Amino acid sequence: MKLRHLIEPTDFSITELEELFKLADLIIKNPLEYSFKCKGKILVTLFYEPSTRTRFSFEAAMLRLGGSVLGFSDPNSSSTTKGETLTDTIRIVSGYSDIVVIRHPVEGGPKAASLFSNVPIINAGDGGHQHPTQTLTDLYTIRAKFGRLDHLKIGICGDLKYGRTTHSLVNAMSRYPGNEFVFISPEELCMPENIKKALASDNKPGYHECRTIEEAISELDILYMTRIQRERFTDLNEYDRVKDSCILDTEKMKLAGENMIVLHPLPRVNEIHHDVDNDKRACYFLQAENGMYVRMALLMLLLDRTGSFYQNMASETAGFVISTEESEECTNPKCITKIEPPLKQRIKLYSDGRKICDYCGTHIESCCTYEE
Ligand code: NCD
């Protein structure tokens, strides 16, 4: 049977997302009714990078559903230190478990894992690429606050270059009609060109860019703050130059509308002053709490192989073909194919000529295809 994985937000249709959110609503209303839904099931959590919210909320989710949890939060305690590849680890642990959650520093790691797994794989963050379960949490919180996911103006602020949560949020929210984005960041950390170009094409929602919170805050429904991702900088002097560039405080909150909400995937460093926590528009702790309930719903839906997520599955190759030519190589030095060379290249060829790495999402030859 073909498996369902969650590697990027668009792996689920809008209808499936709504089904997941409705299930999370029901779980929140009556959690005890769900306490045995995953009895006998085992979740494995492989965290090759630090985590507090994502790992604990997944583990709490499985325990609250009556299942069990195995895993590591420090790869140094696994055979990775002996040189074992991610794909070999997955072949082993997928034989011991029913579902696997992976956070990996290398872009495309969870996608590679999904090709070698006998059980569903959930991407809990891969390098600077994607973080789809954070996006489920973000969308669920937005839906709870506004009663809808369309016709919203979303300011995304901070590290838009390396912040995987921002990439997944744009991917997900751009599928709903009428949404508009404002990208607020220093020039060095602006949203990657590929993401902006995808927004500019296909009649997707519009965006504009600015450098300060003050320029945008009064027009926003949502201000999504993010941490500058220190661990992804190759030059720490550059980190020092940009680390304090966008900070939200109570003075700036005075410029915002009374129904605007502030979200943050957390952890924060200094980008939101602690005084803002007392403002009723600050929703980031609620957002973190929601994370456990949406992950409960996600585990239930991916584990139920006779359920709706396994019926009417869209073909994996809808809209594109995977190139099998060995000459097509991903150009991203941070792609999993560069770290685990036995992996076959998988370049998606679209009918409009775009070529995108199926692991890390890099647009191949984008300089020739897209630049003016
Ligand atoms: C984020 C992550 O790991 O990408 N945290 C999270 O999962 N809630 C954001 C971050 O680390 O800045």
Could you say which of 4, 104, 111, 131 is catalytic? 131
Q: Using a 6 Å cutoff on CB, does residue 134 contact ligand 1?
A: yes
Phi, psi of 314, deg, nearest 5: -70, 150
Looking from the CA of residue 229, the nearest atom of ligand 1 is 12
Please state, in angstroms and rounded to a whole number, the distance separating the CA atoms of residues 106 and 337: 9
Least confident of 69-83, 90-104, 266-280: 69-83
pLDDT for position 325:
61
Average pLDDT, the chain: 93
Give the long-range contacts of residues 300-305, CB within 8 A, separation 24 or more: 300/23, 300/34, 300/37, 300/38, 300/65, 301/16, 301/19, 301/20, 301/23, 302/4, 302/5, 302/6, 302/99, 302/120, 302/122, 303/38, 303/41, 303/98, 303/99, 303/120, 305/1
Write down the pLDDT at residue 318.
64
Q: Confidence band (pLDDT; 50, 70, 90) for 367?
A: very low
Note the pLDDT of residue 200.
79
* CA distances for 211 relative to 185, 266, 273, 276, 335, angstroms: 5, 21, 19, 21, 29
Q: Mind listing the domains of the chain with CATH numbers? A: 9-131+289-310 (3.40.50.1370), 134-288 (3.40.50.1370), 320-369 (2.30.30)
Judged on CB neighbours under 10 Å (0-12, 13-18, 19+), 325 is exposed
pLDDT score of 370 more than 60: no
Look at 148-152, 253-257, 325-329 and tell me which has the smallest mean pLDDT: 325-329
Sheet containing 355-357, strands listed edge to edge, beginning at the edge strand earlier in sequence: 320-323, 347-350, 355-357
pLDDT band at 324 (very low <50, low <70, confident <90, very high): low
Q: Please work out whether the CB of residue 131 comes within 6 Å of at least one atom of ligand 1.
A: yes
Q: How many CB atoms are closer than 10 A to CB 340?
A: 17
Strands 320-323 and 347-350: antiparallel
Which band of pLDDT confidence, cut at 50, 70 and 90, is reported for residue 83?
confident
Q: If phi over 0 gives left and psi between -120 and 50 gives alpha, with beta otherwise, what is residue 158?
A: left
Question: Percent of the chain beyond pLDDT 90?
Answer: 82
CA distance linking residue 164 with residue 104, whole number of Å: 12
Q: Pick from 217, 221, 157: which is nearest to 184 by CA?
A: 157
53 in contact with ligand 1, CB cutoff 6 A: yes
103 is catalytic: yes
pLDDT of residue 368: 41
The DSSP symbol for 243 reads T
Average pLDDT over residues 28-52: 97
Does residue 249 carry a pLDDT above 80? yes
The encoded tokens of residue 296 equal: 């409960």
**In this predicted model, which residue has the larger pLDDT, 35 or 200?**
35
Query: Which of the listed residues 266, 268, 285, 286 should we mutate to test ligand 1's pocket, taking the one with most ligand atoms within 8 A of CB?
Result: 266
Cβ-count burial 132-145 (b if 16+ within 10 Å, e if not): bbbbbbbbbbbbbb
Rounded to 5 degrees, φ, ψ at 182 are: -120, 120
Query: What's the pLDDT at 197?
Result: 85
Residue 236 CA from chain centroid, whole number: 25
Q: How far is the CA of 227 from the centre of ligand 1 (A)?
A: 8
Which is more confident, 78 or 52?
Answer: 52
Q: Give yes or no for residue 57 CB within 6 A of ligand 1.
A: no
**Residue keyed to tokens 């504009």:** 208
Provide the pLDDT confidence category of residue 313 given band limits of 50, 70 and 90.
Answer: confident
356 contacts 364 by C-beta, under 8 angstroms: yes
What mean pLDDT do residues 111-138 have? 98
Predicted local confidence at residue 327, as pLDDT: 67
Ligand 1 atom index nearest CA of 53: 8
Q: What is the tens place of the pLDDT at every residue in 187-222?
A: 999 999 989 988 876 666 689 999 999 999 999 999
CA distance 325 to 364: 14
Other C-beta atoms lying within 10 Å of the C-beta of residue 219? 14
Each residue's pLDDT tens digit, 329-366: 999 999 999 999 789 999 988 887 888 999 999 998 74
Q: Which of 13, 1, 14, 370 is nearest to 192 (CA)?
A: 370
Contact 46, 72 (CB under 8 A): yes
- Min mean pLDDT across 169-178, 206-215, 220-229, 319-328 is at 319-328
- Taking the C-alpha atoms of residue 278 and residue 271, their distance in angstroms, rounded to an integer, is 15
- Ligand 1 atom closest to the CA of 124, numbered from 1: 7
